C-alpha cells in the first residue's frame, strides 16, 4: 500500500520496526498538526527522520537548514507544543528491545551475532537521535541544539514537576544532553586568553555573559583585561567566536579577601565605605615576576543549554597550566567566590525554628550578642529582621555585633550543610568536587547590592593546593569529606 502525502512524497506501509516508526510518527503529525509554521516544521522533521533511501548530503543539509529556520520562526506560544511533539521520539520501544535481546539469547551462531548486536544497539538508540545527529553535523547545528535544550529547560520551569508534560520535556533534555556531552567534550575545547586586542564581538559577548560580577561598560571590561589581570575562555571549533565558559583571574601577592582589591570599578551599597587598595592596580606589569598568587574571582558558564555538562573545572585546570607556563613563580591558586543561597538558607532556618520545626541555629553566645542589639524580642527575630532589611550595613556597631554571628553561621552552611552527601551550596560543591579546600571566609568582602542580597556580603576562598587536588576530589566523591582549613574550623569552635 502506498500513502500519498505532503509535497507529493510517498511512504510505504510502515511495519512495526524502530527504523520505520519515526517516519510514521512525523508523517502523521504533519497531516494532523496545526496550520502555519508549526505544520511546516513538523513536516521538515518527518523528512529528516525518514528511513526511506538516504537523500544526498546536499538535500540533508537543506532539510536541516529548514528545520532550524522553521524553529526560529515559531511563535512563542507554539514552542512548547513543538517540543512536546518531539518528546515521544526520545523513548525507545520496550517491546522491540525485548525482541532483539531474546533473538540474541537464542542465537548460537557467532556469524550472525555481530548483525544481531547492531540490531539491538539500533533499537536502544532513541529515534530522535537521527534528526539531532544530522543537525549537529551541519554548520551552526551544534549551537542550534544547545539553544534548543535551553528552550526545553526554560519551558520545564513553567510546568508542574509532577506533570506528564514536564516528564516528557525532561526526557528530551536528557536526550540532547547525552549527545552534547559527546560533541562538547574537553578534548574538543580550545582555551584562549582574551585581551583588549581580541575581536570586538568576543569582547562584547564576555561583557554580556558575565554573571558573577556584572560589567557596566567598556571601561569595566578594559580594567578586567588590564595589567595583572587575565581572562580565559573555552571555545569549540564549531563556534570559535562563542565563549562557552569565561574565567577571570587577578594576579596578586596575597590571597585576596575582598572584591575591592580585585575590581577597580567595584561598587558598594549606599552607606558602606571601603577604600580601594591602590597597590592592587597599576598602569603596567613592570613587576609581574613578583606576583605569586592567582585569584579566580569569576567563572561563568554562558550557555544554559550546556547545563550539567562540566567544563568549568577543566578550564580552571588548564588556566593554571597556562599561568604557570607564563609565570613560573606562581605558587598559590585560590578563588574569591560568592556564596549564593546563604541568606535564603539562614532566613529559612530561622523561620523553621519559629514554627517549631527545628532547633535554633544560634548558640548561647550568638543570642547574647543579638540581645545586646535588641533585648525586646527573641534573638532569632532580631537576626531575621536585620538580615532581611540589610539596614545594618554601614552601621559600624551593628557590623561589629553581627560579624561573629554571621561568619559562624556561614561556616556551618558551607561546611556542615549537605544534600545527598554533597555540599548544599552549589559553588562550594563545584570547587570542592574539583579538589579545592574550603580555606577562608571573608567578612563583608562583597558589599554590593547583589552580595548583600545573596550572602550578607560574605565571600569565601577555595584554595587549590595542587599536590592535593586529586586526593581531595576523590575523597569528596567517595567519602563525602570536605577538606577544610583551620581558619574555618575555628569559626565553628571545632
Q: Is residue 251 classed as helix, strand or coil in its secondary structure?
A: strand
Placement of cell 520545564 in the chain: 156
Burial of 237 (0-12, 13-18, 19+ CB in 10 A): exposed
Active site residue 389: no
Q: Given 85, 213, 248, 431, which residue is catalytic?
A: 431
Question: Phi and psi (nearest 5°) for 333?
Answer: -130, 125
Q: Is residue 436 classed as helix, strand or coil in its secondary structure?
A: coil
Question: Phi and psi (nearest 5°) for 424?
Answer: -65, -40
Check if the beta carbon of residue 191 is closer than 8 Å to that of residue 233: yes
For 195-206, letters b (16+ CB in 10 Å) and e give eeebeeebbebb
For 325-335, letters b (16+ CB in 10 Å) and e give eebeebebbbb
Q: Please enumerate in sequence order all residues whose Cβ is within 8 A of that of 90, keeping only pairs 6 or more positions apart, or say none.
A: 126, 127, 128, 171, 172, 174, 175
> How many DSSP H helices and E strands does the chain contain?
20, 11
Q: Please enumerate in sequence order all residues whose Cβ is within 8 A of that of 37, keeping only pairs 6 or more positions apart, or say none.
A: 70, 73, 74, 75, 78
Check if the beta carbon of residue 359 is closer than 8 Å to that of residue 353: yes
How is residue 114 written as a grid cell? 555481530
Helix (H) or strand (E) holding 335: strand 332-335
Angle between helices 76-86 and 164-183 (to 10 degrees): 80
Check if the beta carbon of residue 436 is closer than 8 Å to that of residue 463: yes
Placement of cell 575523597 in the chain: 475
Active site residue 331: no
Q: Is residue 193 classed as helix, strand or coil in its secondary structure?
A: strand
Dist. CA 247–CA 312, nearest whole Å: 8
Q: Given 256, 298, 337, 384, which residue is catalytic?
A: 337
Output the CA–CA distances (angstroms, integers) from residue 324 to 161, 171, 316, 421, in the order listed: 46, 42, 12, 34
Q: Is residue 16 classed as helix, strand or coil in its secondary structure?
A: coil
User: Residue 190: which of 133, 138, 251, 242 has the closest Cα?
Assistant: 242
Active site residues: 337, 431
Amino acid at each position: 500500500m502506498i500513502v500519498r502525502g505532503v509535497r507529493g512524497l510517498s511512504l510505504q506501509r510502515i511495519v512495526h520496526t524502530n527504523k520505520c516508526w519515526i517516519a510514521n510518527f512525523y508523517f502523521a503529525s504533519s497531516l494532523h498538526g496545526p496550520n502555519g509554521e508549526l505544520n511546516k516544521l513538523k513536516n521538515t522533521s518527518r523528512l529528516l527522520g525518514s528511513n526511506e533511501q538516504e537523500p544526498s548530503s546536499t538535500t540533508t543539509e537543506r532539510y536541516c537548514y529548514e528545520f532550524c529556520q522553521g524553529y526560529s520562526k515559531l511563535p512563542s506560544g507554539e514552542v512548547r507544543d513543538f517540543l512536546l511533539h518531539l518528546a515521544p521520539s526520545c523513548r525507545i520501544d520496550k517491546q522491540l528491545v525485548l525482541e532483539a535481546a531474546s533473538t540474541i539469547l537464542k542465537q548460537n551462531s557467532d556469524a550472525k551475532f555481530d548483525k544481531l548486536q547492531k540490531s539491538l544497539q539500533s533499537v536502544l538508540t532513541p529515534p530522535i537521535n537521527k534528526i539531532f545527529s544530522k543537525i549537529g553535523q551541519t554548520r551552526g547545528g551544534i549551537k542550534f541544539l544547545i539553544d534548543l535544550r535551553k528552550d526545553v529547560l526554560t519551558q520545564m520551569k513553567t510546568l508542574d514537576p509532577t506533570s506528564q508534560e514536564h516528564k516528557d520535556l525532561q526526557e528530551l533534555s536528557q536526550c540532547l544532553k547525552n549527545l552534547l556531552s559527546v560533541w562538547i567534550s574537553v578534548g574538543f575545547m580550545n582555551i584562549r586568553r582574551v585581551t583588549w586586542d581580541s575581536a570586538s564581538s568576543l569582547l562584547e559577548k564576555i561583557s554580556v555573559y558575565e554573571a558573577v560580577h556584572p560589567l557596566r561598560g567598556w571601561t569595566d571590561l578594559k580594567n578586567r583585561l588590564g595589567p595583572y589581570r587575565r581572562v580565559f575562555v573555552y571555545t569549540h571549533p564549531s563556534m570559535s567566536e562563542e565563549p562557552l565558559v569565561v574565567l577571570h583571574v587577578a594576579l596578586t601577592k596575597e590571597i585576596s579577601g575582598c572584591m575591592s582589591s580585585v575590581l577597580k570599578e567595584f561598587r558598594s551599597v549606599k552607606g558602606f565605605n571601603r577604600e580601594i587598595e591602590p597597590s592592587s592596580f597599576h598602569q603596567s606589569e613592570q613587576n609581574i615576576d613578583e606576583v605569586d598568587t592567582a585569584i579566580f574571582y569569576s567563572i561563568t558558564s554562558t550557555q544554559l543549554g550546556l547545563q550539567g555538562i562540566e567544563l568549568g573545572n577543566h578550564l580552571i585546570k588548564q588556566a593554571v597550566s597556562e599561568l604557570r607556563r607564563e609565570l613560573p613563580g606562581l605558587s598559590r591558586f585560590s578563588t574569591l567566590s560568592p556564596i549564593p543561597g546563604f541568606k535564603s538558607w539562614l532566613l529559612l532556618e530561622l523561620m523553621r525554628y519559629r514554627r517549631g520545626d527545628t532547633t535554633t541555629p544560634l548558640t548561647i553566645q550568638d543570642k547574647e550578642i543579638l540581645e545586646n542589639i535588641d533585648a525586646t524580642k527573641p534573638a532569632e527575630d532580631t537576626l531575621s529582621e536585620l538580615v532581611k532589611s540589610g539596614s545594618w550595613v554601614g552601621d559600624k556597631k551593628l557590623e561589629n555585633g553581627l560579624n561573629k554571628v554571621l561568619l559562624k553561621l556561614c561556616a556551618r552552611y558551607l561546611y556542615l550543610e549537605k544534600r545527598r552527601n554533597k555540599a548544599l551550596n552549589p559553588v562550594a560543591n563545584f570547587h570542592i568536587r574539583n579538589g579545592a579546600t574550603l580555606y577562608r571566609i571573608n567578612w563583608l568582602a562583597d558589599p554590593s547590592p547583589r552580595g548583600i542580597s545573596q550572602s550578607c556580603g560574605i565571600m569565601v576562598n577555595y584554595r587549590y593546593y595542587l599536590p592535593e587536588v586529586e586526593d581531595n576530589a576523590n575523597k569528596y566523591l567517595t567519602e563525602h569529606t570536605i577538606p577544610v582549613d583551620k581558619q574555618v574550623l575555628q569559626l565553628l569552635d571545632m
